[in-house]
Copies of this chain bind each other. A is one copy, B any other.
Amino acid sequence: MKERLKELLEQVREGKTDVEAALSELRHLPFEDIQFAVVDHHRSLRQGAPEVIYCEGKTPAQIRAIAERMLAKRSDVLATRADKEAYKALKALDRRARYNELARAVVIEHKKRPPTDGLVLIATAGTTDIPVAEEAAVTAQTLGSRVETMYDVGVSGIHRLLGRKEVLASARVIVVAAGMDGALASVVGGLVDKPVIAVPTSVGYGASFGGIAALLTMLNSCAPGVAVMNIDNGFGAGFLAHRINMLGE
């Protein structure tokens, strides 16, 4: 593609093709190849930012190979859904690899980012929601956000939440991870005037249906300002929370 473009421009320069004809040809060139260049260019601007490996269904060797390529591009690495074997493979690749076992996440950073002014607060209804919350926390932190967590403040013991209303008020964006009845998102949404990202978790039994009950609760939240992620999608919540948080920097 490049070749044809070059040739065309040379023909213009040499007067072999007039401007109108070149213009016409240019407009009929398959746009996607040009676009490919553009994208590459943009990509290069982002060098150094963390890239993500979703480890589920990949062998340690595959994970290591992907991470190696990322590090070669000077990207930081965030590996989610990583078990201990995945961690060992990454640790062997790069000694800076750190493992958050609860979040099942591995992080390799070239240089620590200075945390944002804005605070991403991550709350859970129960202790069983913590792994999802930790995945969100690691993700937002690795991307550069300042993160605090507030666990086990579910609505069946509402005073635990109300007793920490100041922390809620100090956050720029709040992630709420909750399974079972998923009601925490509504209560938090009613207490703050900041964006709330609700993540249903697959915690629970019986008619919790692997998180669907909590998902529906959250979609139907009476509190405005609440948006919902997929079940157990801690990574997505942390990623979006960071994006929103960056708007205020």
Chain A positions within 8 Å of B, measured between CB atoms, are 2, 5-6, 9-10, 12-13, 15, 18-19, 22-23, 26-39, 41, 52, 56-57, 118, 125-126, 128, 154-159, 162-166, 172-173, 179-183, 186-187, 189-191, 193-195, 197, 200, 202, 204-209, 211-233, 235-236, 239-240, 243-245, 247-248
Query: Does A38 contact B34, Cβ atoms closer than 8 Å?
Result: no
Query: Does B218 contact A232, Cβ atoms closer than 8 Å?
Result: no
Give the oligomeric copy count: 8
What are the residues of chain B within 8 A of A212 when measuring CB–CB?
207, 216
A12, B19: Cα distance in complex, Å = 9
Query: Does A27 contact B39, Cβ atoms closer than 8 Å?
Result: no
A232, B33: Cα distance in complex, Å = 32
Is the contact region of chain A dominated by helix, strand, or loop, or is it mixed? helix
Give me 20 A-to-B residue pairs in the complex whose CB atoms sit less than 8 angstroms apart, sorted by A's number: A9-B26, A35-B162, A35-B163, A52-B224, A118-B247, A155-B155, A155-B223, A156-B189, A181-B182, A181-B183, A181-B217, A182-B183, A183-B187, A187-B187, A205-B231, A206-B220, A213-B217, A227-B236, A245-B247, A247-B247
What are the residues of chain B within 8 A of A57 when measuring CB–CB?
128
Partner of A26 from B26, B163, B219, B236 at Cβ < 8 Å = B26
